């Protein structure tokens, strides 16, 4: 294809059509009312910002529709969202969680609860340790994820110091 807009005489009809399409994609953009207008050539960052502004305006025109579509997507993709969250937070797959839960007998290691189970991890290394009930997972965090905190609590339970 030639770069000059005026010299199209040596091109076939198909090449001329392709040239015009490319030219319009480069120099014209679709506006919010569906028409096209000439714009300057933008950097990728400027195009990204313009798209974000147009998306924001589209959502502002019909927020209920957007909310309903987002809600429906979240309902349809619950498993994907859970898997994405497990990977983002702990770098584990749902299969890893299920396998660990099966090794634990399908319940919390401490109390044998089978509902409201969450992933337990070391807060310093982010290493996945197992699946616990929400209460015991919080207790581990409160005691600082280390033995010293548990030993202090154990000493207190065995006999609190007199004041």
Q: Where are the domains of the chain?
A: 13-74, 78-158
Quote the crossing angle between the two packed helices 63-76 and 78-90, to the nearest 10°: 80
End-to-end C-alpha distance for the chain, whole angstroms: 91
Euclidean distance between CA atoms 130 and 68, whole angstroms? 36
Tokens of 78: 């619950």
pLDDT digits (tens, 9 = 90+) for 111-159: 989 999 999 988 888 889 999 999 999 988 888 888 888 888 888 888 8
pLDDT digits (tens, 9 = 90+) for 78-102: 999 999 999 999 999 999 999 999 9
In CATH, 78-158 is 3.40.1800.10: yes
Tokens of 141: 């965090």
């Amino acid at each position: 294809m030639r770069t000059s807009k005026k010299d199209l005489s040596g091109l076939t009809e198909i090449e001329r059509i392709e040239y015009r399409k490319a030219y319009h994609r480069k120099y014209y953009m679709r506006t919010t009312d569906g028409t096209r207008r000439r714009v300057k050539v933008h950097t990728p960052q400027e195009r990204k910002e313009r798209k974000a502004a147009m998306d924001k305006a589209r959502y502002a025109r019909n927020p209920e529709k957007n909310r309903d579509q987002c809600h429906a997507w979240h309902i349809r993709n619950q498993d994907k969202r859970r898997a994405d969250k497990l990977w983002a937070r702990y770098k584990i797959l749902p299969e890893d969680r299920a396998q660990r839960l099966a090794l634990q007998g399908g319940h919390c290691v401490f109390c044998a609860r089978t509902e409201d189970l969450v992933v337990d991890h070391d807060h310093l290394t982010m290493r996945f340790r197992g699946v616990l009930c929400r209460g015991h997972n919080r207790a581990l965090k409160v005691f600082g994820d280390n033995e010293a905190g548990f030993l202090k609590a154990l000493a207190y339970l065995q006999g609190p110091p007199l004041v």
